[in-house]
A and B are shown apart, each in its own frame.
Chain A
Amino acid sequence: MAPENKKRSLWDRIQFCDPRILYALFAVVVIGFEMIQIKMPVPNPIWVGKLYDRIESLPPDKAVLIDCDYGAGNRGECEGQFKAVIQHLFARNIKFMVVTWTTNVEGQKLGRQVLDEVAKKMNKVDGEDYVMFQAIVNAGGVTLQSLAKDIHGFVVKDINGRDLNEIPMMKNFRSIADVSLIYRVAYSWGGIPWIGFVQSVYGTPLAAGSAGIESSTAYPYLDSGQLCGLLAGAAGAAAYEKRVMEAGIVNETGIGTKTVSVQSFATLFVVVSILISNFAMFMSKWQSKRGRA
């Protein structure tokens, strides 16, 4: 706590400064770098490369199942992860199914906006190249188990209200046996039910995209091989976007690259402010020791 009874020293005032000053400085940093957009080197995490290589080697006769569970709050980090991967899948002509949940309507709405935008740009057709299912009630592992066993029996309709049996691409994709990769993109990767009820039972590879702050819990599963790839935060999205751009699939960087540049300076601001606060604490202690002596 700040000393109340005597006049505060400079170091104490720095240490216990008004949080509004911090808020204002932080806002200036974020808005400033958002406007300036300094080009930064994009990191190249190994697990991003592994997911890219995995998608490169997917067979064209099987589909990818995407669990789109991100929301407006983490859109900055997750949208790039979702968009870059579907651009890659479209470019490779690999069909995919997008699953969303009733517990997160934002995932469906935001996912659909991205899907429609990318599909339009890459001349892909809803129902022939991709399909988004009606949001499913999430009842834990049993839901995933039922979905894996019989997609048509469990989902019934797509987001446009069409019966799955009437959708051309769904004629060939009926169970998890027809799926070559599961990719879950969400704020928290939270893929333990996918691992427990699908990946470990059927051996279907699982990859994830999550917010940077949540990605640390995914590392044990990467190490064990239960996760075959991970896009961690905006940095993961930026790294994937870079690969997609280098492959000539798109000719401009996406939201991940834009976000990661600003995020980089915001992180630097946090680190510097913590260091200043600690330095002020040491100086204040040193001053009081000297005063007592």
Chain B
Amino acid sequence: MSKRNVLKIIAFLVGLYFFLEYILPEKVGGEFDSYEVGSPVCVEKDGKKLQFYVGNYYKGRGIIGRMVKSAGKWKKDQKPCLQRSLFLKFDQYGLIEPDVAVTPEGLTLLYLGQNEKEPVLCYAVSSDDGQNFRKKGPVVISTNDVFKTFENAPNGQIPDRIKSFAADYKGSSWDVYLFTMTYRVWHAAGPDLKHLTLDAQPLVSTALLEKSPNAFDVYKEGDAPVLVYVMDREIVEFRQGGGNWTPKSWKAPAGNGTNDTVYAGGRMDTSDGTLYLGTKKMQKARPIDSPYETTLCAVSLRDKGDGEPLAPEMTVYKKVGASPRPTYLSYGTEWAGKFLTVVGSFAIFIAMINLMLFHGKKIYQSALNYNAPVGEEKLPGGGAPFRNFLKNAGYSAVFLIFLAVMIVCALKGQTDEAKGTIWKTSFDFLFNAIQAPMGSAVFSMITFYMISAAYRSFKVRSLEAGFLMAAAIVCMVGQMPIGELLASLVPESWKLLQLPWLSSKLLSVLNAAAYRAVLIGTLIGSVAISLRIWLGLDNSVYSSVD
């Protein structure tokens, strides 16, 4: 195999590696919930307590993990039980707000699919064993004659956006409660999740609390629903009576730190009592060895009778400060970042050496009189006359002297301890009195040339040039205070004559549209070139090989 083909294969594998790293962060190795955990829900099936929660590998990539309680302790599964879709758009960005119910099919898990570009949709999956779930599809809510179900709105045209929901399965019937962005609660019921019917009116039509709850749940007392709103450190239950919803609240169990915030999640009745599950966000005292935001889950035990919490049973399944383990692939990104930094540092170093060699050679050659004109008087020892040296290598000498001085002064004078020393003073002087003014001077001189060029060349010789000049003048003057001054002379209603307004419209509408078109074209070209290089179709990059 030729060197060229070996390089092509390596380039392809490296490209594939980073492509996979982008699309499959939680699939290959590592912890799927290293960034954050939240929204726990619990269920009891065949005497076994199961807890499901959302684990994030990083921000906004929620997938469902599972814990099982055995011998009094919650034990976490190493792998997630339900992952986001790679190719189906509804939950491509992750899964949030799960709820779970025991059904004749086994376990049914409902969740909200997340995709920033799509509406939030409620989906359901089922499993026989509570571990391996089959993707089932959207929960279909036939609202009524007015609101129909569409392909793009499989949940039905619910008259609001869903924020959270709670589902309950009892006596071969489903009750789904949808908490919406406007704090309303809608109820839908039906024999299965494909045939739910939404009530004509919302169950709760006004906001019961001023703030949106962190979690929302519903349980039934007989046939009457009890709405559970979980706020920061507070759980509020609402019961309906006489047409009103009456609140009853109590404090959520506090954690160890006084600044912790408890975000409770699901609620369930078990043979031991009622469980409230939650997460606790540490706001302070985050240990230094934890590079990610971590939360822990707390479980509080509530007495069945009076509704007041007993001493909370805190079950930590995510240790605060535990170093998360990145995926095998993300090791590669970290490594590549460091590698490129090292390569970049070497590039600067090599450039410096190259410059030193180039100018050093020039000085050396001048000193040996290589460039001295024929017949020119030579200095004793064979050196060139000083003026020849200056002519041929003067700039090189100045460059090397200043390079050496700046390096030494920068190395010795950059730290705080160096304040007041000759190194620091020299470095500051060289920078403030030479480098910065020279930089400004060079930049300023460009302005003079620009004025000269504009004066001589910016002529209206065609209609297009006229438009260009009009746009340039409007943009230049419109963004300056002089534009504001001129605009103040024009009545407020005559927007078209106000240069700042006109200038902002030119920039944000016409300019943005045109530039976007240029960008899209350029980027399509870049993608094509990248693909050609990645797939080994472009031989130009390997031209020096073989």
Interface residues of A (CB under 8 A from B): 16-17, 19, 22-23, 26, 40-43, 45-46, 61, 71-76, 102, 106, 109-110, 136-140, 142-143, 145-147, 149-150, 152-154, 159-161, 165, 171-172, 174-175, 177-178, 202-203, 212, 215-217, 219-220, 222-223, 232-233, 235, 238, 260-261, 263-271, 273-274, 277-278, 281
Contacts and interface: CB of A to CB of B under 8 A. Distances in A.
A206 B483 CA distance: 28
B5 interface: no
B398 interface: no
Nearest to A269: B451
B337 A145 contact: yes
Interface residues of B, number: 69
Nearest to B500: A43
A238 B480 CA distance: 10
Contacts of A110: 436
Contacts, number: 196
B337 A154 contact: yes
B448 to A, nearest CB: 5
A219 B512 contact: yes
Contact of A143 (B330, B340, B348, B477): B340
Contact of B476 (A178, A261, A271): A271
Given A26-B451, A137-B345, A264-B482, A177 B293 contact: yes
B37 to A, nearest CB: 14
A278 B459 contact: yes
Interface string B501-528: 0001001100111011001000000000
B455 interface: yes
B416 A142 contact: no
A220 B454 contact: no
B279 to A, nearest CB: 16
Nearest to B461: A281
B137 interface: no
Interface string B442-470: 11100110011011101110000000010
B439 interface: yes
Contacts of A106: 435-436, 439
B350 to A, nearest CB: 13
A214 to B, nearest CB: 12
A267 B480 contact: yes
Contact of B348 (A43, A102, A150): A102
B476 A270 contact: yes
B454 A73 contact: no
Contacts of A271: 473, 476-477
B443 A137 contact: no
Contact of B436 (A72, A159, A222): A72
A16 B457 CA distance: 10
Name the residue among A26, A174, A177, A270 with the largest chain B CB count within 10 angstroms.
Answer: A270
B32 interface: no
Interface string B298-340: 0000000000000000000000000000000010011011101
B459 A43 contact: no
Interface string B330-371: 100110111011011100100000000000000000000000
A273 B485 CA distance: 20
B414 interface: yes
Contact of B460 (A45, A149, A278): A278
B488 interface: yes
B380 interface: no
Contacts of B414: 159, 161
B333 A146 contact: yes
A264 B473 CA distance: 12
Nearest to B508: A219
B45 interface: no
Contacts of B444: 73
Given A61-B283, A268-B480, 7 more contacts: A74-B443, A233-B479, A264-B482, A266-B447, A269-B451, A273-B454, A277-B456
B286 interface: yes
25 contacts: A26-B447, A40-B485, A41-B488, A75-B440, A137-B344, A138-B344, A140-B340, A142-B336, A143-B337, A143-B341, A145-B333, A149-B333, A154-B338, A160-B415, A161-B414, A175-B291, A202-B58, A223-B512, A264-B482, A273-B454, A277-B455, A277-B456, A277-B458, A278-B458, A278-B469
Contacts of A273: 451, 454-455
B441 to A, nearest CB: 9
A142 B414 CA distance: 28
Contacts of B288: 165, 171
A216 B504 contact: no
Nearest to B415: A161
A258 B173 CA distance: 73
Interface in B121-141: none
A43 B481 contact: yes
Given A72-B437, A153-B291, A263-B480, A22 B35 contact: no
B292 A175 contact: yes
Interface of B: 35, 58-60, 283, 286, 288, 290-293, 330, 333-334, 336-338, 340-341, 343-345, 348, 414-416, 431, 435-440, 442-444, 447-448, 451-452, 454-456, 458-460, 469, 473, 475-477, 479-485, 488, 500, 504, 507-508, 511-513, 515-516, 519
B334 A46 contact: no
B341 A235 contact: no
A109 B292 CA distance: 32
A174 B290 contact: yes
Nearest to B36: A177
Contacts of A40: 481-482, 484-485
For the complex of A and B, 9 pairs with smallest distance between CB atoms: A146-B337, A73-B443, A72-B439, A40-B481, A139-B340, A137-B344, A72-B436, A219-B512, A19-B452
A23 B452 contact: yes
Contact of B459 (A74, A142, A232, A277): A277
A216 B511 contact: yes
B481 A235 contact: yes
B481 A41 contact: yes
A40 B477 CA distance: 13
Contacts of B337: 139, 142-143, 145-147, 149, 154
Contact of B452 (A22, A138, A172, A278): A22
B507 A216 contact: yes
B483 to A, nearest CB: 7
Contacts of A73: 439-440, 442-444
A165 B436 CA distance: 33
Contact of A72 (B60, B290, B435, B500): B435
A268 B451 CA distance: 12
Given A42-B481, A235-B480, A146 B59 contact: no
A61 B293 CA distance: 13
Nearest to B293: A177
Contacts of B458: 274, 277-278
Contacts of A212: 479
Nearest to B485: A41
A174 B292 contact: yes
